[in-house]
């Protein structure tokens, strides 16, 4: 009975080796591609203009005094804020009343936060899964390595150990890359969402000023 249970566990562990190995290799390649994409995004963000909040506030107030949507596209804005203003601009042009505008702005911000969170979920998951896959890829070859040792096949044992050590290194490097990607994108997301919140606050402040001067 004991030998049968041992054989079952041995077969199960070895059956998981190829799925774990292929998952490690595929995720490692994807993480390297994502790292390259991050470097490109970093250069683009460094070259993109910074948002000029005072100029945006003046343009919003002037546009609302005229009863027309403010044209902010000519002002310095980060790409994320320009995209967000594109969402707000169309809605402001169709509004008959500004009574519940604050609720709609909150909803729009929440959608942006959910979109950012969904984007970060992949790398956050990799931070946790990568060490698990690396550990599994290390432990699974130990069974065949011990059997090779018992059979006196030292070359086979060394080959299995090399595979195991390579798997744990791959898993640790993958986890490190995913951690760097997550930290960097979270920092960018916080900065972008803060600018969006500031823009919404400027819109809400400009409306009473426009109404008082009308």
- Residue extents of the structural domains in the chain: 51-213
d(CA 144, CA 157): 7
d(CA 71, CA 68): 9
Please say if the pLDDT value at position 16 is more than 90: no
Residues with Cβ within 8 Å of 102's Cβ and at least 6 positions away in sequence, in order, are 204
**By C-alpha distance, which of 117, 91, 113 is closest to 104?**
91
The tokens describing 129, both together, are 């899964």
Instruction: Please write the tens of the pLDDT for every residue from 66-117.
Output: 555 556 667 777 888 888 877 777 776 666 656 667 787 888 888 888 988 8
Q: Residue for token digits 């009473």?
A: 208
b/e code 182-198 from CB counts within 10 Å (16+ = b): bebbeebbeebbebbee
Q: What backbone torsions phi and psi does residue 75 show, to the nearest 5 degrees?
A: -95, 155
Instruction: Please write the tens of the pLDDT for every residue from 168-190.
Output: 999 999 999 999 999 999 999 99
Average pLDDT, the chain: 81
DSSP category for residue 76: -
| pTM (two decimals) | 0.79
Cβ-based neighbour number of residue 53 at 10 Å = 17
Residue 213 has a pLDDT of: 45
């Amino acid at each position: 009975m004991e030998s049968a249970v041992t054989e079952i566990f041995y077969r199960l562990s070895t059956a998981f080796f190829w799925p774990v190995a292929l998952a490690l290799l595929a995720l490692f390649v994807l993480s390297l591609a994502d790292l390259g994409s991050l470097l490109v995004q970093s250069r683009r963000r460094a070259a993109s203009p910074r948002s000029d909040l005072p100029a945006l506030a003046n343009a919003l107030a002037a546009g609302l005094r005229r009863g027309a949507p403010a044209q902010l596209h000519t002002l310095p804005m980060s790409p994320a804020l320009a995209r967000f203003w594109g969402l707000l601009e169309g809605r402001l042009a169709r509004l008959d009343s500004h009574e519940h505008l604050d609720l709609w702005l909150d909803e729009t911000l929440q959608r942006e936060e959910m979109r950012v969170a969904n984007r970060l979920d992949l790398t956050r998951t990799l931070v946790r899964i990568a060490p698990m896959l690396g550990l599994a890829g290390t432990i699974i070859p130990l069974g065949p390595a011990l059997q090779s040792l018992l059979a006196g096949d030292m070359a086979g044992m060394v080959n299995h150990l090399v595979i195991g050590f390579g798997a744990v290194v791959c898993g640790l490097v993958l986890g490190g890359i995913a951690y760097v990607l997550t930290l960097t994108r979270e920092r960018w997301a916080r900065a972008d969402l803060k600018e969006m919140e500031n823009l919404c606050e400027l819109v809400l402040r400009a409306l009473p000023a426009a109404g008082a001067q009308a």
